[in-house]
Every structure is written in structure tokens, then in C-alpha cells.
Structure 1
Amino acid sequence: MPLVKYSAWRILLFVGALGAGYLLGLRSWLLLLVALIVAFAVSYLALSGPRDAAARWLAERAERRKAAPRVTKDADSDFEDSVVDQEPRGSKDGD
């Protein structure tokens, strides 16, 4: 799945930026802030292919879900009514 690959790459970039920042002597919230900015910038520039693939995959998935038939509440209740109508009258649970 392209979305999983893209997310994994982004996480790896963030962890790499954290490690590099730590080795350079950054600490505390500054380390997190710099790593976040660096990982965002690098992923924006370097991961355009995986990002586009993930966006296409999500769009196709949304179209498939939109085109798929849905079970509505009315259809569900109609089915339940048909099952209840088929049961013999006068029978009780546990007989």
C-alpha cells in the first residue's frame, strides 16, 4: 500500500533528523522542532513520487467506496421484517 510506504518514509526521515540533531548537540524542545521542520522539508522535496502514489490510492479507494452498493437502514429493517414474517405464528422462544 502506497500510504503505508509513504508514512514509513516520513517517520524514518523524522527519526533520522532527530538522530542527526541529537548528534549535533540539540536538546529538549528545540531538537523536536528542528527535526520536525527538517523532516517536513526533506519529505516535501524528496518524496513527491510516493506522496502522489498515496494520494492516487486514496482517491481510487474513495471512488470504489462511493460506487459500492450500500446497505441502508431501510434495507436492513426490510430484511428483518421479511424474516419475522416467515416465522410460524404462535411459536414462542424456547419452544
Structure 2
Amino acid sequence: MRPFLLYAVVRLGLWVLLWWLLTLVGLGLVLAGVLAALIAMLISILFLDRLRNAAALRWKAADERRAARRADDVDEDAEYEDAVLDEADAETATEDRNHPTGGPDATGDVTAGDAESLDPAGLPDLGDRDEVREEDR
């Protein structure tokens, strides 16, 4: 927490100093605040690398600790739903193997069967419609 707090205080102090100097020059309060924020950001990017990196590493370590604590929590509802879906998928696969409804025959042609089983998305077969009608152009 110390590197992050130090980085924030230094940036805020830099902004206040720049804002005060810009208001002394004669810029308006709002314009001085916006310019001070931009200049403080640029200065912090260029010169506060060590502080920013230390704060980022601490932030990352804290985030990893939080993620590790959350990983131990098991959502029992999600586990149950996953089990039910896996069971339903297994039953569907077994039924498909026991009752094939179309596919290539010995000649390589697709035999007649359930159209939904041939198209995984369940979309109707529209055939080859590559031509564009005149009214569509």
C-alpha cells in the first residue's frame, strides 16, 4: 500500500504545484486545472517510473492474493448445472450413435435424414444461391 500511496501523493502534489503556478501566470482556474493535470501526467510518465512500477507490482500481488482466495470458493449451483449439462450431452451423443439419421453412404452422397441433424446450427438448407437478384443490387 505504501508505494501506491506515495505515487498518488507525489502525483497529486505535482498537480497542485503546477495548478498554482499556472493560476499565477494568469490562466483561468479551470484551464489551469486541465493543463496542470496533463502536464503532471506527462511528467509522472517520464520521471516517476520507479514509483509507478513499485505501485503496479504491489497492486498485481494484491490482485493475485484476492484471486487465490476466490478460487477456493466452490459454487455448488454451478457445479450441479455443469453436471446436468454434461449428463444431457452424454445422453444425446448416445442416442445419435444408436439412431443415425443420415450421412454419407457408400458412394459419398448424403442420404435422406433429419435436416436438423445434418446442419449443426439448425438452419434450413437454402441451396446454392450465389446469384444476386437485380432488385438486390
TM over 0.5: yes
Partner of 1:62: 63
Which amino acid is the alignment partner of residue 36 of structure 1? A
TM-score, structure 1 as length reference: 0.68
**Structure with greater Cα Rg:** 2
Deviation at 1:45, TM superposition (A): 0.9
SS in 1 for 2:27: coil
Partner of 2:28: 27
**Higher share in helix:** 1
Distance 1:42 1:51 in 2: 12
| CA deviation vs aligned residue, 1:4-37 (integer Å, no higher than 9, x gap) | 1111111001001111101211113211121111
**Greater mean deviation of Cα atoms: 16-25 or 61-70:** 61-70
Higher relative contact order, chain-length normalized (CA < 8 Å, sep 6+) = 1
Distance 2:47 2:58 in 1: 19
Partner of 1:5: 6
Which amino acid is the alignment partner of residue 43 of structure 1? S
Identity of aligned residues (%): 30
| Structure 1, unpaired ranges of 5+ | 75-95
RMSD: 1.7
Q: Does 1:50 align with 2:51?
A: yes
Structure 1 runs (4+) greater than 3 angstroms displaced = 69-74
Asked if the contact 2:23/2:29 (under 8 Å) is kept, the reply is: no
TM-score, structure 2 as length reference: 0.48
SS in 1 for 2:66: helix
Distance 2:74 2:10 in 1: 39
